[in-house]
Structure 1
Amino acid sequence: MEVLSNAGRYTPPDPGQDGRYTEELRVPDLSVGTYCLPAGGVDTQRPHTEDEVYVVVSGRARLTADSGTVEVGPGAVVFVPAGEGHRFTDIAEDLTVLVFFGPAEYTRR
């Protein structure tokens, strides 16, 4: 067992950066990270080669994907399949999201 004590905590991006992603755990079949975007920020991520599950810890935004757009806030859980274009838009409040990749991020390059 491992406790991920820093997972889900908002950490502002460094100056000049759009957001902050911190990997909290990596094993072959799973990785977990915390993705933070400031209110009014821009999400510049690109589609991933792994499936993703987002769990919104705090903040409010829209998640816009190839398959549609949804409003997200605390407690929202969204699945995005590998290869689907997506990004957070209209970030109304500092956004903190737990991100689960299966298998671990970048293992299907």
Structure 2
Amino acid sequence: MEIIEGAGVWAPPTESGDDWIEQLRTPDLSVGTYCIPVDGTDTQSPHTEDEVYIVTAGRARIETPGRTAEVGPGTVIFVPAGEEHRFKDVTEDLVLLVVFGPAFNSRSPRS
């Protein structure tokens, strides 16, 4: 058993612009926190892994090619591998607990 400290808690982007912090990684899944400040831009690209977002704080809108939805605390979102998605119109600092299966970037082609 492991307690994952800091998962789902707001952390401002670092000087390098990182807004994703991976707090746990195993071959089969990873858990982390993705934060977007008010009026911030979501710059992520589609992932090669399935992912689940749990909104722990903030408000925004998520857009995929087939759907748009308002999200806030308690919203749980499933995004299948490869699907374009973007958080927009962030009106409150957005904090997302993110679970990837398998682990984040584990299916990406290696250079």
TM-score tier (shorter): over 0.9
Aligned-residue CA RMSD in angstroms?
A: 1.1
Ranges in structure 2 where 5+ consecutive residues have no aligned partner: none
Indicate how the Cα distance of structure 1 residues 40 and 16 shifts in structure 2: closer, same or farther if over 3 A, else same.
Answer: farther
Ranges in structure 1 where 5+ consecutive residues have no aligned partner: none
Q: Give a deviation string over 1:35-79, Cα, whole Å, max 9, x none.
A: 000000000000000000000000000011122111000000000
1:16 is displaced (CA, Å) by 6.6
How many residues were matched structurally?
A: 108
Query: For residue 38 of structure 2, what is the amino acid of its counterpart?
Result: A
Would you say 1:52 and 2:70 are equivalent positions?
no
Name whichever structure is richer in strand by fraction.
Answer: 1
Runs of 4+ in 1 over 6 A off after TM superposition: none
1:14 is displaced (CA, Å) by 2.4
TM-score normalized by structure 1?
0.95
Where do residues 24-63 of structure 1 align in structure 2 (5 Å cutoff)? Answer: 24-63=23-62
Cα distance in structure 2, aligned partners of 1:7 and 1:45: 19
